[in-house]
């Protein structure tokens, strides 16, 4: 034992010991003994007080040092604070060596015995509770609380209205001793030596009156200065003068007392004493940060939503009256025209109703990231080091063709993921290369190398966004809010390194080609040499496969540039390569800047998340199911290698724009009720769009209006990227709780608890999640069925309950009877990656693994549709899950969109074809279960219905031209009733658009662009989608689509929007061009006919021209796209277009001249 010097003014001696067993001091185990716990050594502090109460009575005393043997090791050094002898605390006699012997003779000690416990602990030491022996006689100390405290007296103590006795110190005394003290002792209490209150000389026995008066007055609070003499709070001295009223306020001022510690007032020095009257601060938050919600739902203002709903009703009523009037008042002169127009108008009314009903309940949501940090990343008894208790996150990035999806774009996406603000050890990134390209493989290796510089730079300086191409390409001041002096120097170095990185990525195709040519030439020479050695004919040509070679001189196992057997896009082996191994659990700090390190990372965690390259096996004769199959392969691979309970999927061109995006999504998953959420969908935001957004690429009406409205129902649809999934939901399991909707419009609800199979009967095909419960026979049966559903991988089947447990809510957030996980259960290091794990992962990406399983049918991404994203989300909602729409203040993700007209039309064609497939499949919302809300079912039904609106839209776009050609109109006369209804429908539509703009945050320009492209797509891509869908359903013709090209970053001097003006001919352009030409010609013909008519019918002309102009206004962006680059269209094109229109109109008038003007229309040669 080593004694340390103590201050002369301090009566406390600190002794440091290595064991803690010697001497008369005995260790007591705390309720939650954790190394390095920050428990105060001061017994008067609130933390020590709680520790005392937790170990009252000595019940947790560790006999024989058992606690020391379990917890203490060589790295801990304990110290004990010995308090010197005082009148109230004498030294322990040598004879008192065993508490057990005293306990046998005198029974259990009183609770006051624990007030002598000193809790010791601190940095690098074990928290202990040391019981100090008291030098008072054991018989006196162990006296019954009802006996007199005077020596030699065993009489019963006095009792009155107060249990404290006649004195405020609580000293027990019998009536006889009390009278003796008053008579012979000067009226002073034997315990505290203070005079008794209100003692009368003649009687002195008015004990009841004294007790009553003591209860009426406020009890005095001790001065903090006095606690320096008695730190065990054994006695409370009275400050009341005899026969005087106690002034509480004056006492607080004069003695600089304090109210103590609580949520009313809190001293600045926290656990110290002697704080002045004004030395207080706001009390700590005792409300329990773990109980505060992580998210809030913010409803749309009633001042906007109520008129919006009222206008919907008004417009619906107006449409009803208008259609009724149209049906009852046919145009007898042109019944065919009237019939077509009424049919189209009825369908448009139905389509508008299906689109409008799900928009009645929009909501907004906000998150509180500070609560997430306090709950899952703050030190506590279960997690003393403050390791992150957040669940793991596996990030999927998919790519298929390095030519259409440039490797540099994919590399920037990977870099933004590796630098995300989420616990490094909890993130794993998987890149799915469905093309099996060596270019993508080596680009990913270069990315992993550059990440060692880029990620620490982002963490040190708080870089946003963490995509280097987007960050260095910003046109704003990059010095804003930067205070570190080394930022400019390090940014310049990283920028130069990134430029070199870009050059290396761009040179990879040529480097791979040259390397492969050199190796192939060497192989040809070896083959010829071998032929010569074997005496073969030198003139005979030797076929040597043109292989693609890796940098280490071995064949690339994936796709070769010249397709060969086992090395083509549809025929190659499965590949898994961990570019970055799983990081350590503890932070790893870097070194100072030198020749190898570009930045000073001594204060930065330089660990990187795990990065894995995956290319699934492909063989002829197997259906690989495009992107959905690649995603399912990643699900199985990640389950074996990292098994994160949550999955984020991104397209290769969608990068993380907000480094806190993952935390935003986890707030919803981990909040109360989050166990029912299957996924959190983020809105898609795009870069590189032309300022006018000619083809509505931003699609804000869908992402900010429709998706927000669906969030108020059962949740938004899954749109293919930017979505955080719950792994167990992807596995096809049902939620823990669901609600069935019965009756008209689902107004009668019935709650189901699907994790209790013994109580609720499961529906046919229901998959119950195997809860970890050894006494549940049903869970065992479900576990036996896992191989049949998920394949024959035992590791994959074993990972399912682990992922379910890690994705649970904390126990204090779960209600009674629900399953939860203990706090701190995920603050453990990840298991290292070994060869056996990678071998198992290789087996689950084989081409035949999914045979005779439920992958693609119920498990994972669903097969059978080109829009697998919508179908996958629909299946989850149909099981009773709900989803969340997370709109962050700073965009969570950003990507690119095709700004070329042809590419945009083909993208819309793919979406519409998928919708037609959904309509003719079992995924039609008409067959949805009762667990889906009525309005949610309407929204999904509209997804399958909207392409069919194009058939009626094309007809309606030709009707104005037909009306102008024939001189007829959809109504017989433009009477007041028709005009009033038309005006009312138009005005309500405008007002609804204004209110949608108000509650969604979009602007009028974006709304109008959406209306324009609705007609462009409805007359081009949607009819083609209907035809293709019908061919697939009726004739079984398979539908194939080309991958949408991702635009690379333009070089300096290049036009950023060059693709916008590029004209690529497509058959989809024929219907819109035809509609435009016919309507322009019809306007000319109609005007000419009316002007030359004997009885001109101006009302019909105005009606036809108005609707034709409406069609042309919507098709204006399409016409502008056909013109190509601005200023590049020769003027002669417009001249010839005008002349052709005039000539055609004159010919039409000549062929069908107006009555009464034939003489003027005859053409005669001079």
Active site residues: 434, 869
Look at the block and give the residue holding tokens 């002792």.
Answer: 185
CA angle 22, 23, 24 (to 5 degrees): 130
DSSP string, 109-121: PPGGGGGGEEEEE
Residue 795: CB atoms within 10 A of its CB come to 17
DSSP string, 871-887: HHHHHHHHTT-EEEE--
Look at the block and give the residue holding tokens 């796209």.
Answer: 1121
The token duo for 235 is 């006695």
Give 137-186 as a 3 state SS string.
Answer: CHHHHCCCCCECCCCCCCCECCCCCCCCCCCCCCCCCCHHHHHHHHHHCC
The token duo for 505 is 């990525």
Q: Is 544 exposed, middle or buried (0-12, 13-18, 19+ CB in 10 A)?
A: middle
> 429, 418 in Cβ contact below 8 A?
yes
- Name the pairing type of β-strands 893-896 and 655-656: antiparallel
DSSP string, 484-527: -TTHHHHHHHHHHHHHHHHHHHHHHHHHHHHHHHHHHHHHHHHH
Residue 936, H or E segment: helix 934-945
The token duo for 487 is 């930022």
CA–CA dist 27, 132 (Å, integer):
10
Between the alpha carbon of residue 177 and those of residues 158, 197, 235, 481, 588, the distances in Å are 10, 16, 21, 76, 71
**What is the SS3 assignment for 17?**
strand
CA–CA dist 492, 469 (Å, integer):
14
Give 206-266 as a 3 state SS string.
Answer: CHHHHHHHHHHCCCCCCCHHHHHCCCCCCCCCCCCCCCCCCCHHHHHHHHCCCCCCCCCCE
Residue 723, H or E segment: strand 723-726
Between the alpha carbon of residue 692 and those of residues 181, 611, 688, 1009, the distances in Å are 98, 39, 11, 9
For the chain, the first-to-last Cα distance in angstroms comes to: 133
Instruction: Assess whether the previous peptide bond of 1119 is cis (omega < 30° from 0).
Output: no
CA–CA dist 553, 555 (Å, integer):
7
């Amino acid at each position: 034992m080593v004694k340390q010097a103590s201050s002369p003014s301090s009566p406390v001696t600190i002794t440091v010991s290595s064991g803690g067993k010697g001497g008369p001091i005995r260790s007591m185990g705390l309720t939650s003994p954790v190394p390095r716990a920050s428990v105060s050594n001061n017994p008067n502090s609130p933390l020590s007080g709680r520790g005392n109460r937790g170990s009252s009575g000595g019940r947790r005393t560790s006999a024989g040092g058992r606690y020391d043997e379990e917890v203490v090791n060589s790295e801990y050094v304990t110290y004990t604070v010995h308090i010197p002898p005082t009148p109230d605390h004498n030294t322990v006699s040598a004879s008192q060596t065993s508490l057990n012997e005293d306990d046998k003779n005198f029974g259990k000690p009183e609770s006051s015995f624990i007030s002598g416990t000193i809790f010791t602990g601190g940095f690098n030491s074990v928290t202990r509770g040391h019981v100090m022996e008291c030098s008072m006689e054991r018989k006196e100390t162990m006296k019954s609380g009802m006996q007199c405290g005077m020596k030699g007296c065993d009489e019963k103590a006095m009792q009155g209205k107060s249990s404290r006795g006649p004195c405020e110190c609580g000293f027990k005394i019998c009536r006889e001793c009390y009278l003796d003290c008053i008579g012979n002792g000067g009226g002073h209490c034997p315990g505290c030596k203070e005079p008794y209150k209100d003692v009368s000389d003649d009687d002195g026995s008015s004990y009841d009156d004294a007790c009553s008066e003591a209860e009426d007055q406020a009890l005095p609070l001790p001065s903090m200065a006095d606690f320096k003499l008695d730190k065990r709070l054994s006695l409370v001295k009275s400050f009341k003068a005899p026969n005087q009223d106690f002034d509480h306020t004056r006492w607080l001022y004069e003695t600089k007392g304090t109210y103590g510690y609580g949520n009313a007032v809190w001293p600045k020095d926290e656990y110290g004493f002697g704080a002045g009257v004004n030395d207080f601060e706001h009390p700590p938050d005792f409300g329990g940060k773990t109980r505060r919600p992580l998210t809030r739902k913010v409803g749309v203002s009633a001042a906007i939503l109520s008129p919006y709903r009222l206008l919907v009703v008004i417009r619906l009523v107006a449409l009803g009256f208008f259609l009724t009037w149209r049906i009852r008042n046919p145009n007898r002169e042109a019944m065919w025209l009237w019939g077509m127009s009424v049919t189209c108008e009825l369908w448009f009314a139905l389509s508008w109703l299906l689109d409008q009903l799900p928009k009645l309940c929009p909501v907004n949501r906000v998150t509180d990231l500070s609560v997430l940090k306090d709950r899952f990343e703050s030190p506590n008894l279960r997690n003393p080091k403050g390791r992150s208790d957040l669940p793991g996150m596996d990030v999927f990035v998919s790519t298929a063709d390095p030519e259409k999806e440039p490797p540099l774009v994919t590399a920037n996406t990977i870099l933004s993921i590796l630098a995300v603000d989420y616990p490094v050890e909890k993130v794993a990134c998987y890149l799915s290369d469905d093309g099996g390209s060596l270019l993508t493989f080596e680009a990913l290796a270069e990315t992993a190398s550059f990440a060692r510089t880029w990620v620490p730079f982002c963490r040190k300086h708080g870089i946003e966004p963490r995509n280097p191409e987007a960050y260095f390409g910003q046109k704003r001041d990059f010095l804003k809010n930067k205070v570190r002096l080394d930022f400019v120097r390090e940014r310049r170095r990283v920028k130069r390194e990134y430029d070199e990185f870009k050059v290396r990525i761009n040179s990879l195709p040529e480097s791979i080609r040259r390397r492969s040519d050199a190796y192939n030439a060497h192989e040809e020479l070896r083959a010829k040499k071998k032929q010569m050695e074997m005496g073969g004919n030198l003139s005979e040509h030797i076929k040597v496969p043109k292989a693609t070679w890796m940098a280490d001189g071995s064949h690339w196992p994936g796709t070769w540039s010249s397709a060969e057997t086992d090395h083509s896009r549809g025929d190659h082996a499965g590949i898994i390569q961990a570019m970055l191994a799983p990081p350590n659990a503890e932070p790893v700090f870097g070194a100072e800047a030198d020749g190898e390190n570009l930045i000073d990372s001594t204060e930065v965690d330089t660990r990187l998340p795990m990065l894995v390259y995956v290319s699934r096996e492909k063989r002829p004769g197997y259906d690989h199911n495009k992107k959905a199959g690649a995603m399912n392969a990643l699900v199985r691979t990640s389950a074996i290698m990292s098994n994160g309970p949550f999955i984020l999927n991104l397209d290769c061109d969608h990068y993380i724009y907000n480094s806190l995006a993952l935390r935003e999504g986890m707030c919803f998953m981990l909040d109360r009720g989050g166990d029912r959420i299957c996924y959190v969908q983020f809105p898609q935001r795009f870069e590189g769009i032309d300022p006018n957004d000619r083809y509505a690429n931003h699609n804000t009406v869908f992402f900010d209006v429709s998706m927000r409205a669906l969030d108020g129902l059962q949740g938004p649809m899954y749109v293919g990227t930017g979505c955080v999934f719950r792994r167990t939901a992807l596995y096809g399991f049902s939620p823990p709780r669901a609600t069935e909707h019965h009756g008209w419009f689902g107004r009668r609800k019935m709650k189901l608890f699907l994790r209790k199979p013994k109580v609720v009967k499961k529906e046919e095909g229901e998959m119950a999640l195997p809860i970890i419960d050894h006494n549940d026979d049903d869970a065992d049966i479900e576990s036996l069925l896992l191989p049949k559903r998920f394949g024959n991988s035992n590791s994959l089947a074993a990972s399912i309950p682990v992922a379910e447990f890690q994705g649970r809510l904390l126990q204090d957030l779960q209600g009674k009877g629900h399953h939860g996980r203990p706090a701190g259960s995920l603050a453990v290091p990840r298991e290292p990656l070994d060869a056996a794990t990678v071998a198992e992962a290789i087996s689950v990406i084989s081409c035949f693994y999914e045979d005779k399983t439920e992958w693609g049918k119920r498990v994972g991404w669903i097969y059978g549709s080109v829009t697998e994203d919508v179908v996958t989300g629909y299946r989850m909602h149909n099981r009773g899950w709900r989803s969340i729409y997370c709109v962050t203040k700073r965009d969570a993700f950003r990507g690119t969109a095709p700004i070329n007209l042809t590419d945009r039309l083909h993208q819309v064609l793919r979406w519409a074809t998928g919708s037609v497939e959904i309509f003719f499949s079992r995924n039609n919302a008409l067959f949805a279960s009762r667990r889906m809300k009525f309005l949610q079912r309407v929204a999904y039904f509209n997804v399958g219905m909207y392409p069919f609106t194009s058939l009626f839209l094309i007809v309606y776009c030709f009707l104005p031209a037909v009306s102008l050609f024939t001189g007829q109109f959809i109504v017989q006369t433009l009477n007041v009733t028709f005009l009033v209804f038309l005006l009312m429908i138009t005005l309500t539509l405008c007002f609804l658009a204004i209110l949608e703009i108000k509650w969604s945050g979009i602007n009028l320009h974006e709304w109008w662009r959406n209306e324009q492209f609705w007609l462009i797509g409805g007359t081009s891509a949607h009819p083609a989608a209907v035809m293709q869908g019908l061919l697939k359903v009726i004739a079984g013709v398979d539908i194939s689509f080309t991958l949408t090209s991702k635009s690379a970053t333009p070089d300096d001097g290049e036009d950023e929007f060059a693709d916008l003006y590029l004209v690529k001919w497509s058959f989809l352009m024929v219907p819109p061009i035809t509609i435009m030409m016919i309507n322009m010609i019809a306007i000319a013909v109609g005007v000419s006919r009316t002007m030359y008519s004997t009885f001109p019918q101006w009302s019909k002309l105005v009606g036809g021209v108005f609707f034709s102009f409406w069609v042309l206004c919507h098709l204006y962006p399409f016409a502008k796209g056909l013109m190509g680059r601005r200023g590049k269209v020769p003027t002669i094109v417009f001249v010839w277009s005008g002349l052709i229109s005039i000539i055609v109109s004159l010919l039409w008038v000549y062929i069908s001249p107006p009555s009464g003007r034939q003489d003027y229309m005859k053409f005669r040669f001079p």
